[in-house]
Every structure is written in C-alpha cells, then in structure tokens.
Amino acid sequence: MTYYIQAFLLTLIEALCCRNFFEIFLEQDNKRIKWLNKFLFAALVLGFAGISLIFTRSYIWKAILSICLISGIMIAQYRAKFMHIFFLSIAYYGILICIDRIMLVGVEALLGSETEAILNDPVNITIIALICKTVLFLFIVLLNKAFHSNDSFNLITDREWVRFLFFPFMTIVCMSALAVEEKNGGRAVLVVSFVLVFFNFLVFYIIRDVVSREKEMRETCLSQERIKNQMAMYQYMEGVYGEQRKRTHEFKNHLICLSGLLKAGEYLKAKGYLNKISDNWVEEMDFINTNNMIVNSVINQKFKAAKKKGIPFLLSINDLGNLKMEEEDIVTLVANLLDNAIEACEKISKGNRVIKLRFLDEGGKIIISVRNPVAEQVHFGEKGLFTTKKDKNEHGIGMLNIENVVRKYSGESICSCNDGYFTHSIIINF
C-alpha cells in the first residue's frame, strides 16, 4: 500500500510540473469551465500513475504513452496547434528523463561501489526521485522567469527571485541530508521529504496568486489614473466651450455698451472699457494651438495650472495635426509628464522654476521631451524611479501608465538627471 501511495504522490508532482511547464508557453482556454480543467488534471495524474505502474521495465513504451497522454490532455486544455503541443510534450518528457539520468550518474559518481546498495533501499530511491522532481520544479521555475517575464512574475525583483529559489535549493540539501542520516530508512524521512517538496509548490502558487492580485490592483489603479486624466481633459474642454458661449452671448452687450459710449462722445471711457474686456479675453483664451484639439486641451490645461503656481513654460512644438496615436494615449503621455514636472517645480525656489516641453511630429517619428528642475537627485532603481512622495504608489502609477503607452507603440523611454535637471524623453517611430 505504501508503494502505491508513494507512486501516486510522485506522479502528482510530475503532473504539477507538467502543468507549470505548459503554462509558460501556452495560453489556457478560458472558455473551459473550471471543473473540466480539474477533471483533465486528475486524468493526467491517474494516467501517469497507471503508465508508471504497468510499464515499469518497458521504458520506450512508457515514454511513448506518456507523451501521447500529455499531448491529449493539453490539447483539450490549451489553445494551440497539435504539433506545438506535441513538441512541448516531447520537450517536457525529455527534460524529465535527462534530470533523472543526470541524478543517477551523479549518485554513482559520488557513492561508487555503494550505489547498488543505496538504490536497492526503497526509502533512498524514493528520496532520490523526490530530489529529481525538485530539480525539475526548480528548472521550470527558472524557465518561467526567463520566458514569461511580461506576466505577473515580472513584478518580482531579481533579489526576491533569489530568495524564493533558496527554498527549493534548501529542500534538495535537506532531503540529501535525511537520506544520509537515515541509513536504515524510515517512514518519517519519506513523510518529511514529501512535505518539503509539496511546500515548494504551495509557496510557488501562493506567491503567484499574491502577485497576480497585485497586478490586477495595479492595472485597476492605472485604468483609474487614465480615466482621471481623460475626465480632466473633457472637463477642461467643456469649460472652454462654456466660456466661449458665454463670451459670444456677452459680445452683443459689449458692442451695445461701446456704441452708446461712442455716440455720447465718451471716447476715453470707451477706450478704457475696450481695454478691460480685451484683457479679460486675453487672460481666458488658449495660447497654444498645435492643430490637434486633444493636445491643445491637455497642454493649455497644464499651462494654466502651472501659470497659477508661477511656473513658466518654454515650448518647442510643431504641427501635430497628423498624429497617429490614439487620443487616450496622447492624454496619458502628456498629462502625466507635465503633472510630474509641475509637482517637481513646486518643490523648487521660484527663481529656478521652468518647464521645457518639446513635442514634435517629424513625419514617421514622434518626440516628446519634458525637462524640469528637481530639488534633489533622482535615483533609478530596478523597478524604475525612486520617489519621495508619501504615497509611494501614486508616482509609480503615472510612470507605469507612461511606460505602458511607450511599450504599446514599441517606443523608447529615456530618463536622465544631470546638474539638477530631470529629463524624460519619449521617442516613438511609426
């Protein structure tokens, strides 16, 4: 009975590794209902167990049937061509066999003449098999890190990866030590070894779920930030339109008033009245016209916000009427870049406050560059820029939105900080 339990647990570990391996390269069919996926996984485990128990000596048939089983289960679970899945099935089984053979060669090299006696001990052979499965798990985790860098695990830093990988490495060391200490075997050694291996999977799935939830929360925050920028732009455009209607409505009254003053010979009063309403119109009008309504709205909005805070703008802009970017992406880039610049300038003494914006459409290339002074040197870390904000995530959300747009258009984002000035440049080629 113990033999069958051990065989089942080992095949369960192989099935978990197999599923993790395929998740690296294939996208699961979300249309499948959850119970069907669980049924397919159970079929994979039972299939592995049956093949292992029946074909204990026929390695060729065992390999052929295992590859066919994996291919059949995975074609029902993932959206991919059969040949792609068949190739991955061969690759997984090949990795599994290679690790087992390398481990046996290593045991023979280390133990020499004692190898046969060690391999005849059921406890030792089971521990060696568990070590092989742990090495397989470790290898698949490293593959996940190498080939799946754009998913949730991309939020984990290299240092955090090293800390996580320390756990399976120590599992291998502990099982090796248990095998050496418990020369006469024992169920306690097997139980501890199996628990250690399954704890590796448990920790892996916990980390994956936590990071996935963090990614979902971050994407929600990014979406809310984009909506906030778009709403601010629409409110600004609505305000401009309302002011325009108001001025148009009042224009007739101003003309009547001026006509009355001129007819009465009150030329000085008429001149003063005209200067007064002209100054009001000049103050309220939009100064920047790029031939692109969206760009005009965003830049004029930020220009007026900066003006109220005593922050001057220096602009280098050409005709942006033929921009090929989506409107929401334009808002995301320009609004976040200028918001960051205005916030940085607020921390600077008034004499040095200035924001330099460069926005050029050079045919097939768009260049957006914002340069502003900073109160202290900006440092660059593994996840981007360090921030001194009390709400650490607030700064990161804006920067992540910028980077997401740049990545969407396969552009280039360059940040630098020299001589007390921070520059963020974006280049997008079409």
**What order of strands is seen across the sheet that includes strand 365-373?**
313-317, 355-361, 365-373, 421-429, 412-418
Instruction: Note the pLDDT tens digit of each residue in 147-164.
Output: 765 555 666 777 777 888
Task: Write out pLDDT tens, residues 114-140.
Answer: 767 666 777 778 888 898 999 999 999
d(C-alpha 168, C-alpha 291), whole Å: 59
Is residue 376 classed exposed, middle or buried when 0-12, 13-18 and 19+ CB atoms within 10 A define those classes? exposed
Lowest mean pLDDT across 258-262, 282-286, 377-381: 282-286
Would you call 38 exposed, middle or buried from its count of C-beta atoms within 10 A (0-12, 13-18, 19+)? Answer: exposed
d(CA 185, CA 169): 23
Q: Between the CA atoms of 174, 179, 180 and 183, what dihedral angle is there, to the nearest 10 degrees?
A: 150
Kindly tell me if the per-residue pLDDT of 188 is higher than 60: yes
pLDDT of residue 153: 61
CA dihedral of 181, 186, 190, 195, whole degrees rounded to 10? -90
Q: In the prediction, which pLDDT does 88 show?
A: 92
**Angle of CA points 303, 417, 159, to nearest 5°:** 120
User: pTM value?
Assistant: 0.61
Alpha carbons 76 and 19: distance in angstroms, whole number = 13
Radius of gyration of the chain (CA): 33
The two tokens of residue 240 are 């401009």
Look at 276 and 313; give whichever has higher pLDDT: 313
Dump pLDDT digits (tens) for 222-254.
Answer: 677 777 766 776 666 666 666 666 666 666 677
CA distance 93 to 406: 40
Q: Over range 356-366, report the average pLDDT.
A: 90
pLDDT in tens, 89-98: 999 999 999 9
Above 80 in pLDDT, residue 9? yes
Q: What is the DSSP string of 302-347?
A: HHHHHHHTT--EEEEE---TT--S-HHHHHHHHHHHHHHHHHHHHT
Q: What is the pLDDT of residue 221?
A: 73
Residue with tokens 């418990």: 182
The yes-or-no verdict on residue 383 having pLDDT over 60 is no
Provide the pLDDT confidence category of residue 69 given band limits of 50, 70 and 90. very high
* pLDDT tier, 384 (very low <50, low <70, confident <90, very high otherwise): low
Domain residue extents for the chain:
2-224, 288-430
Q: Work out the pLDDT band at 77, boundaries 50, 70, 90.
A: confident
pLDDT at 249: 60
How far is residue 69's CA from residue 14's CA, in Å, rounded to a whole number?
13
| Terminal-residue alpha carbon distance, the chain | 66
Higher pLDDT, 261 or 1: 261
Q: Using the 8-state DSSP alphabet, how is residue 112 labeled? A: G
Which tokens go with 167? Answer: 């756990």
Look at the alpha carbons of 273, 278, 283, 284 in this order and tell me if their dihedral is positive or negative: positive
> Nearest Cα to 359, choosing from 412, 401, 323, 305?
323
Specify the range with the lowest mean pLDDT, choosing from 249-258, 287-296, 410-419.
249-258
Residue with tokens 């942006």: 320
Contact criterion met (CB below 8 Å) for 164 and 203: yes
Tell me the mean pLDDT in the region 89-110.
Answer: 88
Q: Which of 16-20, 142-146, 149-153 has the lowest mean pLDDT?
A: 149-153
Domain 288-430: CATH superfamily is: Histidine kinase-like ATPase, C-terminal domain (3.30.565.10)
pLDDT category, 380, cuts 50, 70, 90? low
Contact indicator for 79, 26 with CB cutoff of 8 Å? yes
Contact between 396 and 387 (Cβ < 8 Å): yes
